[in-house]
Structure 1
């Protein structure tokens, strides 16, 4: 974002928007962690750049679009966590930058199980239930 004001030009780097979005996302109840993709890990190794894990942004002069990749905690209502993520990230970015957030896309890439949760029990239960209703 670039804004010309009386006293000069204000620029907000894409990475700043990504950091704000990442912090807001990771503080959302039900999110276990942010998920880094294969290409993100590759970019970090090749460039040495500290890429914000699980967050990609496109920032225009007055708008921003944000993509999040997350891992949720086992047992949460995923659709509710995703909706809350969208709200939290949109509010944080708009409040801190003045940009209008036009979309926050959430991709749930995994589920984190508690250390003591029996992982096989969920699979067995799913195998017993009909596939479609």
Structure 2
């Protein structure tokens, strides 16, 4: 079965005919922005191409987010690096709350599940350098 690329919104507007479809990439961007705004999140997992893009000033807000649709259900996986010293369960819960609220507010879609994958920690040293502690194979 081919993976669904759009989700259709149901509208009860009466006299207006037409469809509203939202691309999975738009939902990834919404969830990526909502996740990045949570205190304690250092960055999202990216790929080499997204890191190269960031050098040229292009930001991919959907990086580190995988969205899937099944039977009008939206589920997501987010992959994050957290700041060293934060409470992982508390930050993860805030990520889930923020993502659910933003997606519902902006699209009227319900997120059936959101899985938070903490793929590493970022420790800031006194010298200003950062130390990346990760076991992520995609890094």
Q: What's the Cα RMSD here?
A: 2.4
Q: Where in structure 1 do 4 or more consecutive aligned residues deviate above 3 Å?
A: 3-6
- Runs of 5+ unmatched residues, structure 1: 118-133
How many aligned residue pairs are there?
110
Report how far residue 52 of structure 1 moved: 2.4
User: Which has the larger share of helix?
Assistant: 1
Counterparts of residues 105-120 of structure 1 (less than 5 Å) = 105-116=115-126
> 2:32–2:61: 8 Å Cα contact kept in structure 1?
no
Q: Secondary structure at the match of 1:12?
A: strand
> In the alignment, is the contact (CA less than 8 A) between 2:40 and 2:91 conserved in 1?
yes
1:4 deviates by 5.5
Write the mapping of 1:1-133 to structure 2, written as runs, cut at 5 A: 1-3=7-9, 5=11, 6-36=16-46, 41=48, 52-60=62-70, 62-116=72-126
Give the unaligned 5+ runs of structure 2: 1-6, 53-59, 128-139
Larger radius of gyration: 1
TM-score, normalisation: structure 2: 0.70
Tell me if structure 2 keeps the 8 A contact 1:20–1:93.
yes
